[in-house]
Amino acid sequence: MMATLVGDEAGALDAVIAAAGADAVLTDEAACDFFSHDVYSTGRKPLAVLRPATVDQLARGVSAATAQGLAIVPRGGGMSYTGGYLYSGGDFVLIDTTSLGSIVDINATDMTVTVEAGCTWQTLHDALRPLGLRAPSWGTLSGLRAAIGGGMSQNGIFWGARSGSVVDSALSFDVVLADGRIVSTGSDFFRPFGPDLTGLFAADTGAFGVKARVTLRLVKEATAFAYGSFSLPDHKGLLGAMSAIAREGLASESFAFDPYLQSQRMKRDSLAKDAKSLLNMMKSQGSAWKAIKEGAKVVAAGRSFLKDVPFSLHTIAEGRHQGAVDAEITEIGRIVTAHGGSAVENSIPKILRANPFPPPNSMLGPDGERWVPVHGFLPHSKLVEAWERIEALYAANAEAMERLDVNAGAMLAAVSRSGCLIEPVFFWPDAMNPLHRQAVEPDHLKKLKGFPEGPEARALVGELRASIIGIFRSLGSTHVQIARTYPLREALDPAAWEMLVALKRAVDPHGLMNPGSLGLE
């Protein structure tokens, strides 16, 4: 059913349809409602959704929409929770890039790949894996649905974090500006050539333009792997071990769960029941005997191996030579032991590395509770203080959290030799939104009891997230997925902020490209 439009709205929409084609413009009520939700929040329904199949179609649609005074709001795979594609201003057209999903070129000689912005990390991974290639930073855990263009806009991070966030793998972008011009930001094999124009459009959360194509560097995939999982007695031991491992550069991946979050994961996943995951993990071990042996370990461990573990740390060492990565895991074990920890079964890193992009079922709790993270990147020297201040916040709000059944856990990850990520996550009883019902696997969704609307609990989660952002900011943290959630202006030197404002005026003089994202109007 098409939304009812009046006068100016209908005329503006007619102009977009004439420019982009009726097949690329969605106006039905269900589509517009769906695209007004992210994982956490709800915004205004778009006037229409532009779903272009070609870059030229995207450029024509954007040009026609802004000529009619309509704002443009770009969306990748939709797996974000900071309001990046939610808008509550005037009429706007949301750009759904999922039909721009092609891999344009894989150049194994020059070690580059060019993709359209709607291509998912899973699609790219599947195309590169038979060639023994990948990007240095190669996606987020939501990569089954998360788009590469969205990752470049949001500055995603997880896989390959030792090499930086995903924008560090980018060589150049083709960007559609607010007036419909297509701008290429640089060389297709070296970045930067002169001032870093690619960097200006990286991590912009769609404030400067719509990414249409992305060219990334490639590296050879590792051929040797070693895995280590460890139990740590407390947050000081965990953070101390993770920081020491990061400073030494021993692990390609290093991530951890606090007691609450790992208990939630154990309720949700058995790690051994998924035959596909187990098969992929076994195949990744290299030899038939090793596959059988490692697969048997995972089956035997089941869910029980983290039962009495306070904090769990999971590490992956990878490279070209098995002896070298085994030595790195041995050294990681020594560091953990020095911080009071001990080894446990390493099922989690093995399963995750072999199946890096699981279905997004974890965007809901084990019974269908709502879920939302908040995060900060901090230097090693400030991690313990941040953790303890967050714990003090929970203690101060313990009565309200218990009464409203609001629970909090945390994931942590090493992201460079200089710092780590702390990502508190909240679970609370509340109704699902259309994005949850569409993204979570149908068989999994059927098992969840779900909850009615929980406005009071939702409000408390909002207050706690805001307080945690304040804690992070007081410690000088940085953030990804800034969008409409994290304060950028307050964190920047005033002169640097004015430079961003000037860039915004240059590429979007009428303020129609995702207004409000990054705090820019």
Residues 358 and 352: their CA atoms lie apart, in Å, by 8
Which pLDDT belongs to residue 275? Answer: 45
- Of 172-176, 263-267, 290-294, give the lowest mean pLDDT range: 290-294
**Alpha carbons 255 and 312: distance in angstroms, whole number:** 9
Q: Are 462 and 455 in contact (CB under 8 A)?
A: no
| Pairing assessment for the beta strands 376-379 and 311-319 based on DSSP bridges | unpaired
3-state secondary structure 10-73: HHHHHHHHHHHCHHHEECEHHHHHHCCECCCCECCCCCEEECCCCHHHHHHHHHHHHHCCCEEE
Residues 6 or more apart from 265 whose CB is under 8 A from it? 257, 362
pLDDT of 444 strictly over 70: yes
Q: Residue 258 burial by CB count (10 A; 0-12/13-18/19+): exposed, middle or buried?
A: buried
Domain boundaries, the chain: 7-98, 103-220, 224-354, 360-474
Q: At what angle do helices 288-301 and 275-283 cross, to 10 degrees?
A: 140
Whole-angstrom distance, CA of residue 200 vs CA of residue 192: 11
Which pLDDT score, from 0 to 100, does residue 296 have?
55
- CATH class of the region 360-474: alpha beta
Lowest mean pLDDT among 301-305, 421-425, 449-453, 496-500: 301-305
Q: Give me the sheet containing 103-107, strands edge to edge.
A: 103-107, 112-116, 210-217, 170-176, 182-184
Phi and psi at 304, nearest 5°, equal -75, -15
DSSP assignment string, 209-266: -EEEEEEEE-EEPPSEEEEEEEEESSHHHHHHHHHHHHHHT--SEEEEE-HHHHHHHH
Given this model, what pLDDT does residue 283 score? 60
DSSP string, 372-399: EE--EEEEGGGHHHHHHHHHHHHHHTHH
- Contact, 386 vs 378, CB < 8 A? yes
pTM tops 0.85, yes or no: yes
Q: Report yes or no: 383 and 410 within 8 Å, Cβ to Cβ.
A: no
For residue range 376-423, list pLDDT tens digits in order.
999 999 999 999 999 999 999 999 999 999 999 999 999 999 999 999
Average pLDDT, the chain: 92
| pLDDT tens, residue by residue, 123-144 | 999 999 999 999 999 999 999 9
The C-alpha atoms of residue 469 and residue 413 are separated, in whole angstroms, by 18
Q: Which residues are registered as beta bridge partners of 216?
A: 113, 170
What does the block give as tokens for 432? 């699902």
pLDDT in tens, 270-324: 444 554 555 565 566 555 555 555 555 555 555 555 777 899 999 999 999 999 9
Task: Check if CATH label 3.40.1390.10 holds for domain 7-98.
Answer: no
* CA dist., res. 46 & res. 48, Å (int): 5
Which CATH topology does 224-354 take? Answer: Alpha-Beta Plaits (3.30.70)
- Burial (0-12, 13-18, 19+ Cβ within 10 Å), 143: buried
Ramachandran region, residue 46 (left: φ > 0; alpha: ψ -120 to 50; beta: rest) = beta
Q: From start to end of 331-473, where are the E strands? A: 342-344, 370-373, 376-379, 407-414, 419-428
Using CA atoms, how far residue 31 sits from 50, 70, 184, 274, in Å, is: 11, 18, 31, 33
- How far is it, in rounded angstroms, from Cα 230 to Cα 334? 11
pLDDT (tens digit per residue) in 39-98: 999 999 999 999 999 999 999 999 999 999 999 999 999 999 999 999 999 999 999 999
Q: Is the pLDDT of residue 349 over 70?
A: yes
Judged against a pLDDT cut of 50, whether residue 2 lies above it is answered with no
For domain 103-220, give the CATH number.
3.30.465.10
Say what the pLDDT of residue 361 is: 93
Q: Is the CB of residue 218 less than 8 Å from the CB of residue 128?
A: yes
C-alpha 321/C-alpha 175 separation (Å) is: 40
With cut-offs at 50, 70 and 90, classify the pLDDT of residue 5. very low
Q: Residue 3: is its pLDDT beyond 70?
A: no
pLDDT at 9 over 80: no
Q: What is the pLDDT of residue 420?
A: 97
pLDDT digits (tens, 9 = 90+) for 158-168: 999 998 999 99
List all residues 6 or more positions away from 19 whose beta carbon is below 8 Å from its beta carbon. 60, 61, 63, 64
For 196, residues 6+ apart whose C-beta sits below 8 A from its C-beta are: 186
Of 246, 413, 416, 221, nearest to 318 by C-alpha is: 221
User: Token pair for residue 349?
Assistant: 């890193």
Element (H, E) at 295: helix 288-301
